[in-house]
Amino acid sequence: MRVRYGMLLSTIVALSFLVMPSAWAVEAHIMMTPDNLQWTDTPSLPGAKVAIIEGPITEVVPFTFRIKFPANYKIAPHWHPAIERVTVLSGTIHLGVGDTFDQAKAKALPAGSISIMEPKMNHFAWTSEETIVQLSGMGPWGITYVNPADDPRKK
């Protein structure tokens, strides 16, 4: 009985890859070195730079992008519509959860750390040194500030 169940499960898994939606399939082999990244300004995080690696982030497709924060950068409490997977590539980002910015409640995440947050989880961040993070997930991705007055796109 165990052998049949194992074979059935293996067959189901194999077939699921054959009928997987094309949006999940990688259409190209993407290889980039840091000097190939094209850093641009982003209105939602003025002073930071973003480099899109895979996307577009506004569609229901996998995305990967990097954000370069200068030293002493602060991000007011906000949330994202999709799961946010943040990998710290260099420097240290301090992340805290909640509706108010409180540096004492943030956890330091040095290079090599990862944070995974569910959609619509209010959180904030700050840096004390230049920090580069890589975000990945399934779009669409965006940023909504808890307090609309904190949104730099509205200033």
With the C-alpha atoms ordered 129, 143, 101, 112, is the resulting torsion angle positive or negative? negative
* Cβ-based neighbours of 86, under 8 Å, separated by 6 or more: 93, 95, 109, 114, 115, 116, 117, 133, 134, 135
Q: Domain spanning 27-154 has what CATH number?
A: 2.60.120.10
* pLDDT at 153 > cutoff 70: yes
Alpha-carbon gap, residue 3 to 40, rounded angstroms = 55
The distance in angstroms from the start CA to the end CA of the chain is 66
User: Percentage of the chain surpassing pLDDT 90?
Assistant: 76
Whole-angstrom CA distances from 89 to 33, 53, 69, 133 are 13, 15, 12, 5
Q: What is the pLDDT of residues 30-77, one digit of tens each?
A: 888 999 999 999 999 999 999 999 999 999 999 999 999 999 999 999
Residues pairing with 117 in the sheet: 84
Of 24-28, 74-78, 126-130, minimum mean pLDDT range: 24-28
pLDDT of residue 8: 42
